[in-house]
Structures are given as structure tokens and as C-alpha cells.
Amino acid sequence: MTVKALATGAAAVAAIGAAAAGFAPASSAPADVQPVVFSVPLDPPPPPPGQEQLPSADQLADLCNQVTDPGVRYTEKNNLVQGGIAQNEGMVADHDLRKAYRNGNFPEQFNVTNIAPAGPNAASADVAISGPKFAGPVTKQLAFVNEGGNWMLQHDAAIALIQAATATN
């Protein structure tokens, strides 16, 4: 091996070793760090242990609209009701919703108020139902449950909602 090749190899090893050890040229002036973003919206803090996040009034009103939609079969609403909808209940609900639609009960509006915790992964709310065939709003206190991050109607509450929505006045 020639002296030149040996010197080149030693220099390369020294340079790699210095880089691996973290040696960098020293700077005489400290680096000025300039902030780029002065305010960033932060996520809201999680609720305290034992206290779940409650659904919004809009979420629950939307859920009520979906459950009472006369144009959607009960089989497509199973994920909106805790435990799903049994075939016999679903067929009756579909029939009653279509009949109420033909009767002119729809469109209906749902005004949700007084949302409160009702146990672990549960909430209750007052739901006022109004529509073209109602003399005035009909208010029901309904129960909602959170399963896997999705709010849905408790089974008996869904039945009560459909009965109120399809009532003939």
C-alpha cells in the first residue's frame, strides 16, 4: 500500500469519526431563534376522569332526524339504536313512518335542550318535536348512549321517538 493511499484512508476515517462524534465548527454568535407562529389553537383538554364529553344539541337533533327519516328502511338504521332494531319493530316503524309522511307529518324539527350526563357513556335530553301536523311541540325526555365513540338512541327512547313522530293529531 502506498503512503498516499494510507494517508487518504486515515483522513477519511478521521473525518467520519469526527462527524459521528458530533463535532461541528464552532460559531462565535449564538443562533437567534425566531418564532414563526404566535398563537396556535389547542385541542380542548379531555374531560376529567369519570366525566365523558356530552353530545351537542345538533348531534342529537341530527340523530333524531335520521331515526325518523321515512325514506330510509329500518335495516339501515341499526347503527343509530342501541342493540339495533328487531325485524318486527322495524317493519312496524317503517310502516308508521311512511303513513305519517303520507299524512303530511313531515318535515319535522327536533329542538334538543337540557343535555345532561345519565351515567357512564350515557346522556339524557329533552327533545321537542314539531311539524306541520302538530298543534304545538311535543316534548320527550330521551336517553342516548355512547358506544365506541358514536352517540345513538337507547332502544326504548328510539321507540318513544318514533311513536311521537308518527302520532296523528
All three cell numbers of 8, joined, read 487518504
Q: Which of 132, 102, 121, 112 is nearest to 62 (CA)?
A: 112
- Count the alpha carbons within 13 Å of 103 in the hemisphere toward its beta carbon: 18
**Burial class of residue 117 (count of CB atoms within 10 Å of its CB; 0-12, 13-18, 19+):** middle
Residues spanned by the domain of 131? 57-166
Taking the whole predicted model, whether its pTM rises above 0.85 is answered as: no
Domains in the chain: how many in total? Answer: 1
Residue 48, domain member (yes or no): no
Tell me the pLDDT tens digit for each residue of 74-127: 999 999 999 999 999 999 999 999 999 999 988 899 999 999 999 999 999 999
Residue 158 lies in a domain: yes
Share of the chain above pLDDT 90, in %: 55
- For residue 139, list its beta bridge partners: 128
Q: How far apart are CA 165 and CA 120, in angstroms?
A: 28
d(CA 164, CA 100): 11
Is 35 a member of any domain? no
pLDDT reported for residue 59:
95
Give per-residue pLDDT as tens, 12-26: 555 565 555 555 555
Residue 20 lies in a domain: no
